[in-house]
Amino acid sequence: MQSGFKNWRGMQETGGRRIKRSIYLDVASVKFMDEQLREKTGKIALLKSYFEEIESKIDACYKDNTDHLLNDNRLTNLGTFRVYVTRYLQSLDMLRKDLTFLVRQLEPGPTGIPLEIYVFTATTKWAEYENIQADIFDHLFAAVHEFELRVFQYPVGGFMFSNSETKK
């Protein structure tokens, strides 16, 4: 009981609520970025400066075709999505930049690769907090497809049945 009040007090003192939530990505959708995906994601405003910062690395990997993908330190769609998520969150006024602000990849498991978001809102009001969190994840669930990644989801009965029917 005492720790509940302690947490409430800390939240009131900092003026923010913590968001600690993950998006689980399908391991099979992670890949090296090809020229086409690089050009597509290069048009995203939040990533333009990122690509400019690493332009020499990009030029070396994508212009000089080597004999094998693994011979270069190439960009991946997951790594680029992680950069996008970080920059997207940093662009939101509703989040506190002075408190812990983290987007990290956790250990993969049977439900995919967790991409954890650990940030604080600029409000302590529960309804506002829930709306902020929902808006963030609505956006990220839609944006993930631009990076040719898939969110992990267990197959459901109707999906499995309809797929087996189409194969006949």
pLDDT at 4 (0 to 100): 46
pLDDT in tens, 40-59: 999 999 999 999 988 877 76
CA distance 74 to 77: 10
Task: Report the predicted TM-score, pTM, of the whole model to 2 decimal places.
Answer: 0.83
pLDDT at 150 (0 to 100): 98
pLDDT in tens, 107-163: 999 999 999 999 999 999 999 999 999 999 999 999 999 999 999 998 876 555 555
Helix (H) or strand (E) holding 155: none
pLDDT in tens, 132-145: 999 999 999 999 99
pLDDT in tens, 47-95: 999 999 888 777 666 566 566 666 566 899 999 999 999 999 999 999 9
Domains of the chain by start residue, with CATH: 15-154 (3.30.70.100)
With beta carbons less than 8 A apart as the criterion, state whether 77 and 148 touch.
yes
DSSP SS3 for 76: strand
